[in-house]
Amino acid sequence: MPPRLSPSHLLGNLETLAAIGAIEGGGCARLALTDEDKVGRDLVVGWMKELGLSVTVDAIGNVIGLRAGRETGAPIMTGSHIDTVRTGGRYDGNYGVLAGLEVVRALNEAGIVTRRPIAVAFFTNEEGARFQPDMMGSLVYAGGIGLNEAYAATDKDGVAVGDELRRIGYLGPVTPGALKPRAFVELHIEQGPILDEEKVQIGVVESVQGISWTEYTVTGVSNHAGTTPMRLRRDAGYLASSVNLFARKLAWDMGGDQVATVGEMAFRPNLINVVPHRAVFTVDLRNTDDAQLKAAEVEVAAHIAEVATSEKVEVEAKVLARFEPVIFDSGLVGRVEHHAKALGRSTRRMPSGAGHDAQMMQRLCPTAMIFVPSVAGLSHNVKEHTEAADLIAGAEVLLNLMLELAEARGPR
Q: Which of 36, 37, 58, 134 binds ligand GLV (CB under 6 A)?
A: 134
CA distances from 259 to 132, 187, 211, 252, 349 (A): 20, 24, 10, 8, 20
Kindly tell me which of 3 and 353 has the beta carbon lying closer to ligand GLV: 353
Q: Minimum distance from CB of 371 to Mn ion (Å)?
A: 11
Kindly tell me which of 134 and 390 has the beta carbon lying closer to ligand GLV: 134
End-to-end CA distance of the chain: 27
From CA 96, how far away is CA 100, in angstroms rounded?
Answer: 6
| Per-residue binding letters, 88-127, with Mn ion (x by CB under 5 A) | ----xx----------------------------------
**Residue 134: which of Mn ion, ligand GLV, none does it interact with, CB under 5 to 8 A by kind?**
ligand GLV
Examine residue 269 and say whether the peptide bond preceding it is cis (omega within 30 degrees of 0). Answer: yes
Nearest to 196, CA basis, from 377, 383, 378, 389: 377
Q: Minimum distance from CB of 50 to ligand GLV (Å)?
A: 29
Q: Does 127 bind ligand GLV (CB under 6 A)?
A: yes
From CA 401, how far away is CA 367, in angstroms rounded?
Answer: 12
Kindly tell me which of 236 and 350 has the beta carbon lying closer to ligand GLV: 350
From CA 280, how far away is CA 232, in angstroms rounded?
Answer: 21
Note whether 367 and 358 are within 8 A (CB): yes
**CB-based closest residue to Mn ion:** 93
**Residue 79: which of ligand GLV, Mn ion, none does it interact with, CB under 5 to 8 A by kind?**
none
Q: Minimum distance from CB of 127 to ligand GLV (Å)?
A: 5
Q: Minimum distance from CB of 191 to Mn ion (Å)?
A: 7
From CA 105, how far away is CA 239, in angstroms rounded?
Answer: 54
Three-state DSSP at 188 gives strand
Nearest to 207, CA basis, from 371, 87, 44: 371
329-388 positions binding Mn ion, by CB under 5 A: none
353-382 positions binding ligand GLV, by CB under 6 A: 354-355
Binding site for Mn ion (CB under 5 A): 92-93
Residues of the shown chain interacting with ligand GLV in the complex, contacts defined by CB under 6 A:
127, 134, 354-355
